[in-house]
Amino acid sequence: MIKDENTYLILVVEDNLTDASRIEQLLLELNFDFQIRYAKSFEEAIAILSSDDKFFDVVLLDLTLPDISPQNLVNEMIDKVLFCPIIALTTNADVDFSIKLISQGISDYLVKEGLTAAMLYKSIICSIERKKIFYSYDDAKTRYTDLFHLSPLAMWVYDLGTFQFLDVNEAAIKKYGYTKEEFLKKTIREIRPEEDYPLFDEGVHSFNQYRDSLKKRYFRHQKKNGNIIDVEIQSNIVFFNNQKAKLVIANDITKQMQHINTIEDQNKSLKDIAWTHSHVVRAPLAKMMSIVEFMKESVNMPSDYEDLLNHFLDSSTELDSIIRDIVKKTETINKIEDK
Task: State pLDDT tens for residues 179-206.
Answer: 999 999 999 999 999 999 998 888 765 5
**What percent of the chain lies above the pLDDT cut of 90?**
32
pLDDT tens-place string over residues 217-269: 899 999 999 999 999 999 887 778 767 788 899 999 998 887 777 777 676 76
Residue 221 CB partners (closer than 8 Å, separation 6+): 176, 191, 192, 193, 228, 229, 231, 250
Give residue 273's pLDDT: 66
> Residue 293: its pLDDT value, please?
73
pLDDT of residue 56: 87
pLDDT of residue 207: 46
| Rounded distance between C-alpha atoms, residue 59 and residue 129, angstroms | 14
pLDDT at residue 315, as a whole number = 75
SS3 category, 251: strand
pLDDT tens digits, 6-60: 788 999 999 999 999 999 999 888 877 889 999 999 999 988 888 766 678 899 9
> If we measure between CA atoms, which residue out of 152, 187, 148, 185 comes closest to residue 168?
148
Nearest CA among 248, 144, 230, 241 for reference residue 187: 248
**Which amino acid makes up residue 2?**
I
Give, in order, the Cα–Cα distances in Å from 303 to each of 191, 296, 297, 309.
Answer: 80, 9, 11, 10
Residues 270-296 have a mean pLDDT of 67
Q: What distance in Å separates the CA atoms of residue 29 and residue 95, rounded to the nearest whole number? A: 28
Task: Say yes or no to pLDDT of 211 above 90.
Answer: no
Provide the strand spans (E) within 49-164: 58-62, 86-90, 108-111, 154-159
Contacts with 215 (C-beta within 8 Å, 6 or more apart), sequence order: 234
Query: For residue 336, is pLDDT > 60?
Result: no
β-strands 154-159, 108-111 pairing? unpaired
- Number of neighbouring beta carbons within 10 Å of residue 114: 8
Is the pLDDT at 210 greater than 60? The verdict is: no
pLDDT at 161: 80
pLDDT at 179: 96
Point out which residues pair with 157 in neighbouring strands: 167, 247
| H/E stretch holding 71 | helix 70-80
pLDDT the model gives residue 228: 96
- Using CA atoms, how far apart are residues 267 and 256, in angstroms rounded to an integer? 16
Instruction: Evaluate if residue 275 carries a pLDDT over 80.
Output: no
| Contact assessment for residue 52 and residue 3, using Cβ atoms and an 8 Å cutoff | no
- Average pLDDT, stretch 274-279? 61
